[in-house]
Chains A and B, each alone.
Chain A
Amino acid sequence: MSDSKVLTKPKKSRRKRKEAIWAYLFIAPVVLGLFLFYLMPALASFGLSFTSWNGINPPEFIGLDNLIRLFQTDSFIRSMVNTLVFTLISVPLAVMLATGIAILLNQKIKGMVVYRTLYFLPVVTMPVAVGMVWKWLYNTDYGLLNYILGLLHLPQPAWLFDPNIALISVIVVYVWMTVGNNIILILAGLQGISETYYEAAEIDGASKLKQLFTITIPLLTPTLFFVFITGMISSLQVFDLIFIMIGDSHVLLEPLRTLVYGVYESGFEYSQMGYASAQAFLLFLMILVITIFQFAFQKKWVHYDG
């Protein structure tokens, strides 16, 4: 007995070492790739925020100058406000619409898959193409939308060219684009709610509406929380749609300018890479703060006891 123990011990540790070597080989490509193209650049971006850099000569340290300049620039303040407004309207709207539609789809109705497919089509469509199509739908003189409004004798606004409603017009497109993704997530959440809750409520004589607010919505809150977090993170980064909708129009630029648009413009149109990095870094901070804020407030509304 004692002999075999002595014999297996080095064998075991040899196998352990072999396992570790293989494991390092398996993870090496991804870990190195993520380090080189993601983690290191993220850290470098922080450093570059304090430099002046044209992308060719070595970066020159200028301290907080970029940040000071940003907060004195109207178009940057504008881009921050636009990004916040965009997110704070589009995400709740998309989540509310998606919740309503998902609850309807979950009523064991015929043709559920057909509806789900149709609602999801915009999600797989190239955002550049989405921007082009909606720009055409929104066309003041020849667009389908104003044609329909004209038939109904309603006012025909200049959707994208009226600075007061341009951002709202793009929010509508974004909601149209993302609602399908939310529907699928929420539908999965709904299907995870056990039938027994509803059976118990039926016995207690609770109405369908009461069941919705006392069972469905509370038990759905973890899913809604996830949809909110991921939805906000991606809507804060909106770019493709805005870029296409603006086109070469300088009229549209200010009402629709977002943080990522600013990063692109400063970095790659004006070659002010340090200045652009500072904006990217502030965007990251904004995402971080909003996400932390949401996690801090989840206790107030998310039920994990279901």
Chain B
Amino acid sequence: MNKKWLIHLVLIIGAVVMVTPFLWMVLTSLKSFGEAMQVPITIFPEEWLVKNYLDVFASIDMLRYYFNTLMVTLGRTLGQLILCSLAAFAFARMDFPGKNVIFILVLSVLMVPMQIILIPNYGILTSLGWIDTFYALIVPGMFSAFGVFLLRQFFLGIPKELDEAATIDGCSFFGIYWRIILPNATPGLIALGIFTILAAWNDFLWPLVMTNSEETRMLSVGIAAFQGQYSTDYPLLMAGAVLSTIPMLIMFIILQKHLVSGIALQGVRR
């Protein structure tokens, strides 16, 4: 009995450390500039200034950043779910010459860090005329070696009898993929979907390098530029930080069961 209390005590202290920065972000976002820059500091705002949030929308084109980020996130996620699942199906269920060599090549991409491909890609996207367009933000992000690998592992876990029965019934390869494999792999698809959404929404270095105009600016880059402009107006900056992270926090709280099992799955040896 005693020991349980001790465990809770340690865990609560840890939880306070994890949550305090979020609370401080929200509390600061509701203070006036004068109050934030005051010693001794106040914990709760003297006056709860919701207006700061409106000021963020007035100072930068938040709506456009939201729209751009949403488009990029949707484009990359749908692209990965469709393209990776098709390839994963072929690798898990079909037979073709060169299969193993091609699969190993796909896996080798997993070892390539993002930074190493950044500069040549800048050249490639320049020659395609894609710099500062949504193509640059979306298209390269639609292909993922990790996605192929994750889904292939998932598909391998689906009993083969299911598609053998369908083959005898005269089902085409696409039919097996569409009617047997995909419906049986929803947890894997959801996990990949959440990973991709998170990575796309929070992505920073790629949009920072590949875009430079307001028209294609994503939230992360917009908020970083906002920080450069209003470097000491912390209430405004914190309001911007809240606005840029709130969608992902809400998504996580709703879908956390799937995200947790998706992460746990990666650590499992196969």
Contacts and interface: CB of A to CB of B under 8 A. Distances in A.
Contacts of A105: 11
Interface in B250-264: 251-253, 256, 259-260, 263-264
Interface residues on B, range: 35 or more
Interface stretch (A63-71, A134-142, A158-166, A195-203): A134-142
A132 B220 CA distance: 11
A109 B231 contact: no
B116 A120 contact: no
A119 B143 contact: no
Given A33-B83, A133-B21, A283 B263 contact: no
Interface stretch (B52-60, B85-93, B157-165, B183-191): B85-93
B54 to A, nearest CB: 19
Contacts of B102: 27, 31
B153 interface: no
A259 B114 CA distance: 13
Contacts of A128: 202, 204, 220, 223-224, 241, 244
B14 A101 contact: yes
The 3 A-B pairs with the shortest beta carbon distances in the complex, nearest first, are A33-B143, A188-B264, A41-B120
A267 interface: yes
Contact of A39 (B108, B201, B259): B108
Interface of B: 4, 7-8, 10-11, 14-15, 17-22, 24-25, 28, 36-41, 83-84, 86-87, 89-91, 94-97, 99, 102, 105-106, 108-109, 111-124, 126, 139-140, 142-145, 148, 173-174, 177, 198, 201-202, 204-205, 208-209, 219-220, 223-224, 227-228, 231, 234, 237-238, 240-241, 244-245, 248-249, 251-253, 256, 259-260, 263-269
A226 B21 contact: no
A23 B94 contact: yes
What is the interface of chain B mostly: helix, strand, loop, or mixed?
helix
Contacts, number: 290
Given A16-B95, A37-B140, A126-B219, A42 B116 contact: yes
Interface residues on A, range: 35 or more
Nearest to B263: A184
Contacts of B115: 237, 239, 259-260, 263, 280, 283
Given A176-B17, A185-B267, A27 B118 contact: no
Given A36-B124, A132-B223, A237-B113, A188 B148 contact: no
Contacts of B227: 132, 244, 247
B237 A26 contact: no
A243 B224 contact: yes
B182 to A, nearest CB: 13
Contacts of B36: 142
Contacts of B40: 147
A90 interface: no
Nearest to A286: B113
B36 to A, nearest CB: 7
B19 A38 contact: no
A34 interface: yes
Nearest to A33: B143
Given A239-B204, A267-B119, 18 more contacts: A19-B173, A30-B87, A31-B87, A37-B117, A38-B143, A45-B119, A115-B15, A124-B249, A124-B259, A125-B245, A126-B223, A136-B28, A137-B24, A176-B21, A184-B263, A268-B208, A283-B113, A284-B113
Nearest to A224: B267
Given A42-B117, A48-B119, A142-B39, A27 B21 contact: no
A101 B8 CA distance: 11
A92 interface: no
B238 A121 contact: no
B201 A55 contact: no
B248 A141 contact: no
B124 to A, nearest CB: 7
A218 interface: no
A29 B228 contact: no
A40 interface: yes
A55 B239 CA distance: 37
